Structure 1
Amino acid sequence: MAVSSSHTSEIKASPEQVMAAIAAVDRLPEWSSAHKSVTIESTHPDGLPHRVRMTVSIIGITDEQVVDYQWNGTESMSWTLVESSQQRQQDGAYALVSTAVGTSVEFSLTIDPKIPLPGFLVKKAQKMAVETASKGLAAFVAKTV
């Protein structure tokens, strides 16, 4: 069964700076402890990542994933799972809105594991993903600005 979550946080940087950090997909392991390796297999004509292969380990489960990224300027990006050893579905997105103090960042994620997992484990994995998407990204943006 697919489960979804979302979280909004504030980052003290411009939407351009935040999106530049998000677009540095190959650097995900620097700010996401779940991402063990990332390889960009193809890019869009503008050079932004399109198809990306990654190894992700969360709550003791390692997953080999291939995802396709879509970009909408500095407003949003999303990804869709193409292949996975552990999931039937994964859809994620970041939506950015400029604010008086920086950027409001909304992160959303929907996952559907292939194997039945207890609800508490799925919630724990979601919580870890949301914390990484907010705190990890904010720390990475601060380091790269």
Structure 2
Amino acid sequence: MGEIHVESTVRIDRAPEEVLAVLHDIAGQHEWWPGQYRSEPLDHDDDGRVARALIGNDVKIAKDDFEVVYTHDDNPDGALGYRWAIAEPSTLQRSQTGSWQVRPDGAGSEVTLRLMVDSTLPLPGFLLKKALQDTVNGATEGLRERCEG
């Protein structure tokens, strides 16, 4: 099928530091990310941030468990956040990369989630893209609801 790229941006009425605190709580991610049933930290970096985690997703058309490796650094364009990639191919993915980017926006934040997946599922590309777009839209909306409480 090849790589599928999707993204979603949302404005959150909280300071970037507050949004980042929620994003860095990988262990609690499954509580607000629709379809995610597991987010289990496996290792931390020297600054105490999650470096590796086991993630489980059920996105209506498929269920998959995989290990994620995180890179915590500022993005080249000055946004705050982090990036990730799966450690090795999983049952349903040859590869996956993603990023959360948080930028100040007045008294709040503009938050963008980008996701790329190369899936092994034998489905038409438009169905896979819709499932992934629904996933990132749900994640950004879930993050907004979690942050704004």
Q: Is TM-score (shorter-chain normalized) higher than 0.5?
A: yes
Match of residue 3 from structure 1: 4
Superposition CA RMSD, Å: 1.5
3-state secondary structure, aligned to 2:87: strand
Gaps of 5+ in 1: none
Instruction: Supply the distance in 1 between the matched residues of 2:137 and 2:14 (Cα, whole angstroms).
Output: 18
Tell me the amino acid that sits aligned with residue 57 of structure 1: D
Match of residue 111 from structure 2: 105
Match of residue 50 from structure 1: 51
Matches within 5 A, 1:72-87: 72=73, 75-83=80-88, 84-87=90-93
Gaps of 5+ in 2: none
TM-score scaled by length of structure 2:
0.89
Match of residue 121 from structure 1: 127
Tell me the amino acid that sits aligned with residue 73 of structure 2: N
Runs ≥4 residues deviating over 4 A: none
Tell me the amino acid that sits aligned with residue 140 of structure 1: R
Match of residue 95 from structure 1: 101
Q: Is the 8 A contact 1:59 1:121 kept in 2?
A: no
Instruction: Supply the distance in 2 between the matched residues of 1:6 and 1:60 (Cα, whole angstroms).
Output: 19
3-state secondary structure, aligned to 1:96: strand
Q: How many residues align?
A: 143
3-state secondary structure, aligned to 2:104: strand
TM-score scaled by length of structure 1:
0.91
